[in-house]
Structure 1
Amino acid sequence: MAKVHLRNVTLDNFRECISLEVDESQKGLVASNVKSLAEAYVNPNLFPLAIYDAKVAGWEQPQLAMVGFTMYEITAGVGFILRLMIDHKYQGQGYGRAAMLEVIRRLKLHPEVELIATSHQTANEVASKLYRSLGFVDWDIEWARQHKSEIFLKLNF
């Protein structure tokens, strides 16, 4: 099973982060990393993180390539996982699951987080299968009903 190491996106790894790409079949289902980083720049509640294989832990300069990107938000008692993308070269190797488990672990460490949630485009079957396998269930919350193309999920803990 893959293990991951999450790091801040910095000037040193910014270009690598924005060059990551999902599989052709997933284009349009995930926001670009450039857009996500721009949102994080203006919103202090957003936490963008580069995903690496756990083998880079302890290295000041990672010796392996970045495998993906994730971003979460903490607002109103909810730790919301907004983004998860794994570069097409690393998909199918367990990095998505490992990254979700690590983000969930981190969110549980925040005392203000009472609920962990995420969402995905209706057409994103890969994300749906992953999130549901981790215990996420439908989240029926009124404000989410106006987003017809998105499915909102919550994780009770």
Structure 2
Amino acid sequence: MELTIQPVDATNREDVLGLTVHPGQQGFIETPAACLQDAADYPEFRPVGLYADEVLVGFAMYGALRDSAGGRNVWMDRLLIDAQYQGEGLGRSFTRLLLERLEQEYGRQPIYLSVFEENLGARRLYESFGFEFIHEYDADGEWIYRKT
């Protein structure tokens, strides 16, 4: 299976907006529409479609965001796999590809993400890639994880 990451643009925007998560995950991630609005409001975000054999199976955003000290932190954000494609290992595969992309685009440096404490599946996934909870929380109360 060929996995690719493609920017969200006019050619795939409507398809991205049609992605859904499993009902039990709805409280853990924003809708694709909310994500794309955030990307429009904050141009540091790069929204991308996640494709398996040229079929859209998911979405993510990433970017280098300003921190309170005026620096920039690299974030991997909003990873979702459409409900119909879950359970196939795609979340793990795309996490690996996204981490490779972040290193290519921003160089080797810490990478941040946030996750709700209750989202045990996502926490286990990210921890398997070396992310650690840094005992800080984002504005929504999500745990902030960092991979160094």
Above 0.5 in TM-score?
A: yes
Write the distance in 1 (CA, Å) between the matches of 2:61 and 2:38.
10
The alignment yields a C-alpha RMSD, in angstroms, of: 1.8
Write the deviation string for residues 9-56 of structure 1: whole angstroms up to 9, x where unpaired: 121211110111000111111111101111111212100000001x33
Unaligned runs of 5+ in 2: 66-70
1:119 aligns with 2:117: no
Structure with bigger strand share is 2
Write the distance in 1 (CA, Å) between the matches of 2:4 and 2:131.
23
Task: Show the counterpart of 2:147.
Answer: 155
- The match for 1:132 among 112, 122, 127 is 127
Q: Give the aligned length.
A: 143
* Identity over aligned pairs, percent: 27
1:17–1:33 contact (8 Å) kept in structure 2: yes
SS at match of 1:123: coil
TM-score by length of 2: 0.87
Q: Which runs of 4+ in 1 moved over 6 A?
A: none
Unaligned runs of 5+ in 1: 57-64
Write the distance in 2 (CA, Å) between the matches of 1:3 and 1:117.
27
Task: Show the counterpart of 1:62.
Answer: none
2:114–2:142 contact (8 Å) kept in structure 1: yes
Code of the aligned partner of 2:56: M
1:8-157 equivalences under 5 Å are: 8-53=7-52, 55-56=53-54, 65-75=55-65, 76-111=71-106, 114-140=109-135, 144-145=136-137, 147=139, 149-156=141-148
